[in-house]
Amino acid sequence: MDNLFDRIAAGFRTYYERPEALILLLAILAVLGAAGAALYASFSARARAGRRAWRTFLEFAGASGLSREEAALLMGVARRLALENPVLIFVRRSLFETAAAGSGIDPARADSLRSKVYGP
């Protein structure tokens, strides 16, 4: 029985004495760690809440009659403002006005968005 353990121990020593084996082991552990972190991030409650907020944003955009391009433009405005809840752009006209003034949005396009989202 001692002979078996000695052979196993010798095999481990031989394996870990090679530096490329250690580098490979560390690389595998780093990849597994990154994959675990990515999975955690994608399933975390905060990530789910963020995705839910953007889905609600798109529902509001559809209800406002925005085209895809207009919804994308308004989404860009909401992202630039770094709103925790992007739906606020539909509720607070002042957020849109501030962002539209500072972002160089075409005035005609801004007027179209303004009338569809906030009314005449």
Asked if 87 and 56 touch (Cβ cutoff 8 Å), the reply is yes
pLDDT confidence tier of residue 14, bands split at 50, 70 and 90: low
pLDDT at 16: 62
pLDDT confidence tier of residue 114, bands split at 50, 70 and 90: confident
Average pLDDT over residues 77-104: 83
Q: What number of H helices and E strands is found in the chain? A: 7, 0
Residues 6+ away with beta carbon under 8 Å from 44? none
Asked if 99 and 77 touch (Cβ cutoff 8 Å), the reply is yes
Domain boundaries, the chain: 2-43, 45-118
pLDDT at 17: 65
pLDDT in tens, 19-43: 677 778 788 989 999 998 888 877 7
How far is 120 from 116, CA to CA, in rounded Å? 8
